[in-house]
Amino acid sequence: MRFQIIKPTGVLAQFIKYYWVMEKNSSEGDVCERVIPTGNIDLMFHYKNCFKVKCSDNNTYKQAFSFISGISNSYADVTTNGETGLICVSFHPFGAYNFFNFPLLEIENQNISLDSVFGSESNEIYEQLCNAQSLNDRIALVENFLHGRLRETGHRDSLLIKTGIGLINQSKGQINTTSLSEKLSVTPKTLERKFSAMVGKTPKQFIKIVRFQSIINTFSVANSVNLTEIAYANGFFDQSHFIKDFKSFSGYTPKDFFANHQCQSDYFR
Residues 31-64 pLDDT 10s? 999 999 999 999 999 999 999 999 999 999 999 9
What CATH number does the domain containing 75 carry?
A: 2.60.120.10
Q: Within 71-226, where are the H helices?
A: 115-118, 120-131, 135-147, 155-170, 177-184, 188-198, 203-221
Residue 229 has pLDDT above 90, yes or no: no
Range of the domain at 86: 2-147
Tell me if 215 is assigned to some domain.
no
Which pLDDT band, with edges at 50, 70 and 90, does 261 fall under?
low
Phi, then psi, of 268 in degrees rounded to 5: 70, 5
Of the candidate ranges 11-15, 154-158, 180-184, the one whose mean pLDDT is the lowest? 154-158
Question: What pLDDT is stored for residue 263 in this prediction?
Answer: 45
The count of domains in the chain is: 1
Tell me if 134 is assigned to some domain.
yes
Predicted structure pTM score: 0.91
Tell me if 268 is assigned to some domain.
no
Question: What pLDDT is stored for residue 223 in this prediction?
Answer: 56
> Which tens digits make up the pLDDT trace of 194-228?
999 999 999 999 999 999 999 988 877 765 667 78
Residue 190 has pLDDT above 70, yes or no: yes
Residue 260 has pLDDT above 80, yes or no: no
